[in-house]
Amino acid sequence: MPLPDATGAAVYFIGRIRTPWLTRRDCPRRGDPVDGPICAIELDPRWAQGLEGIETHPRLQVLYWMHEARRDLVLQTPRGAGPIGTFALRSPVRPNPIASSVVTLVERIGTTLRVRGLDCLDGTPLIDLKPDRTGTAAQT
C-alpha cells in the first residue's frame, strides 16, 4: 500500500547495535537472553549520563529501528499460511519498523552495554533503553 506523505513524529537514534548478523537471513527469529551471543549496544556519548545506574538492572528492554525492513505491506504471507495482517504478525515488515527485545545485561563498559538476547542486524539504530521489571527475559 502507498505510505502517507508525511510522518507524524521525529525519532532520535541514540546509538547503534552491534551483532554478528550481516543479513536478515542470518538473524535468529528470537534472541536468546541466556545462551545467545554477546552483542554490544553502543550509546552515543552525548547520552552517557542516561546510563547512570543501569548496572542495577539485570534485564533491559531495547527498542530499535529495523532500518532495512519494508514498510508498505498490510497483508503478508508467512511460510505455509494464507494472507495475514501485518499487525497480527511479529514480522519486521510494518509501517513503523520498531522492534523491542528484552535482553540480559552482561556488563557496561563506558557507553557500551554488552548484552545477550538480541536478534537484529549489525548497525541497527537504537531508539531507547529501559529497565525491564518482568520476571523473565523475553521478546515482543
Question: Which tens digit of pLDDT belongs to each residue from 14-29?
Answer: 999 999 999 888 888 7
Asked if residue 7 is part of any domain, the answer here is: no
What CATH number should be reported for the domain holding residue 126? 2.40.30.70
Asked if residue 89 is part of any domain, the answer here is: no
Asked if residue 109 is part of any domain, the answer here is: yes
What is the Cα–Cα distance from 89 to 47, expressed in whole angstroms? 33
Model pTM score: 0.85
Q: How many domains does the chain have?
A: 1
CA quadruple 23, 29, 31, 35: dihedral sign:
negative
Q: Tell me the residue range of the domain where 135 lies.
A: 12-61+96-140
Asked if residue 43 is part of any domain, the answer here is: yes
Asked if residue 23 is part of any domain, the answer here is: yes
Q: pLDDT band at residue 135, thresholds of 50, 70 and 90?
A: low
Asked if residue 80 is part of any domain, the answer here is: no
Report percent pLDDT > 70 for the chain: 96
Asked if residue 42 is part of any domain, the answer here is: yes
Shortest CA distance to 39 belongs to which of 140, 130, 123, 137? 123
Asked if residue 87 is part of any domain, the answer here is: no
